[in-house]
Amino acid sequence: MSKGVLVNLTKCIGCGGCTVACKMYNNNKWIDKRAPASGENAQLADENWTIIKKFKLYKNGNTQVWRFVKNQCLHCQSPSCVSACFAKALQKKDNGAVVYFPDNCVGCRYCMLACPFKIPKFEWNKAMPVITKCVMCYGRMKENKAPACVSVCPESVMKFGDRDELLEEAKVIIKNNSMYVKHIYGEEEAGGTSWIYISDVPFEKIGFNTNVVKKPLPIYTSLYMKCTPIFGAIWVIVLTAFYFITKRRNVIKNESCELSYKKSVDECADNKLSQEANTVKSDDVFVNAGQKKRRK
């Protein structure tokens, strides 16, 4: 059965323990100068697979509140990044995790374009870059353990378990407590995600993309992406043809230049012989004229 995580945003205090656990488990670096992992300017990046973003809001008119939102890959039930990856570098596992295999990656970055949540990131600062993103601590999940970020949360903001059971639990919570928004983010977005959220403030006010279609996105992308290898092969053939055509033109051009050069050399040689002949003739006339003058 597919696993998932229920995130109750009303409980998060923004301690950042989940970001630390994520970096320690995945051996990621701190890059706060370039991309903070927590705070109002927090952003996902090649080394930031989990972040805590801080939002200042006003509730019930004048009451100021702070809300802290944990962001990471949502691990879609029907991930568009997987359907966009013809190299099988991204794969959806039965336990719900969307896992990345860098050895298969060709660097096309189609996954970045396909993801409606803008999750996959590229290592722009490295000589041999790859795509990076949260893989839901797949090694821990294979042992039926919660992801590292979930296991260290002191406020029990996140709960790991079977997705269907977590979804039913979330429905009960928002039904029985009037402070919650009557919507479970991730239940239907992009066909459903393994990470689902409940909140007491509207999701659009805390950075969530609420314009995502409900249908699984691979419905729109898979037909096009299946043609990618075919178009790639056709493009290779076209480029190869252009190469040989250009090469043949250069050969013909070089041969033409060689013939022109040879003709020019021959013409120069003929002109030189003609000049020498005229010189000899002029000398003969001068000598004969001198001889005639002495005879007189």
Q: Does residue 268 surpass a pLDDT of 80?
A: no
49 alpha carbon, distance to own chain's centre = 15
Confidence of residue 269 (pLDDT cuts 50, 70, 90): low
Query: What confidence score (pLDDT) does residue 216 get?
Result: 80
Choices 3.30.70.20, 1.10.3470.10, 2.60.120.260, 3.30.300.30: CATH for 3-226: 3.30.70.20
Residue 47 DSSP label: S
Q: What is the 3-state secondary structure (H, E, C) of 102-124?
A: HHHCCCCCHHHHHCCCCCCEECC
The rounded mean pLDDT for the chain is 86
- Tokens 């039965």 -> residue: 94
C-alpha to C-alpha distance for 36 and 45, rounded to whole angstroms: 9
Q: What is the pLDDT of residues 139-161, one digit of tens each?
A: 999 999 999 999 999 999 999 99
Please classify residue 290 by burial: count the beta carbons closer than 10 Å to its beta carbon, then call 0-12 exposed, 13-18 middle and 19+ buried.
Answer: exposed
Query: What confidence score (pLDDT) does residue 286 get?
Result: 47
Task: Give the rounded percent of residues in the chain with a pLDDT score beyond 90.
Answer: 67
Ranking 105-119, 205-219, 251-265 by mean pLDDT, the lowest is 251-265
Q: Does residue 274 surpass a pLDDT of 90?
A: no
Q: What is the pLDDT of residues 24-73, one digit of tens each?
A: 999 999 999 999 999 999 999 999 999 999 999 987 778 889 999 999 99
Q: Does residue 189 surpass a pLDDT of 70?
A: yes
Q: Does residue 294 surpass a pLDDT of 80?
A: no
Mean pLDDT of the 115-124 span? 96
Name every residue whose Cβ is closer than 8 Å to that of residue 120 and which is 6 or more positions away in sequence.
81, 100, 109, 111, 112, 131, 132, 133
- Can you give the residue ranges of every domain in the chain? 3-226, 229-296
Q: Does residue 184 surpass a pLDDT of 50?
A: yes
Alpha helices in the chain (DSSP H): 17-26, 80-84, 110-114, 138-141, 148-152, 163-176, 218-225, 228-295
| DSSP-derived 3-state class of residue 260 | helix
Q: Does residue 129 surpass a pLDDT of 50?
A: yes
Ranking 52-61, 121-130, 196-205, 281-290 by mean pLDDT, the lowest is 281-290
Q: Does residue 211 surpass a pLDDT of 60?
A: yes
Query: What confidence score (pLDDT) does residue 6 get?
Result: 98
Q: Does residue 130 surpass a pLDDT of 80?
A: yes
What's this model's pTM, rounded to 2 decimal places?
Answer: 0.75
- What Rg do the C-alpha atoms of the chain give, in angstroms? 37
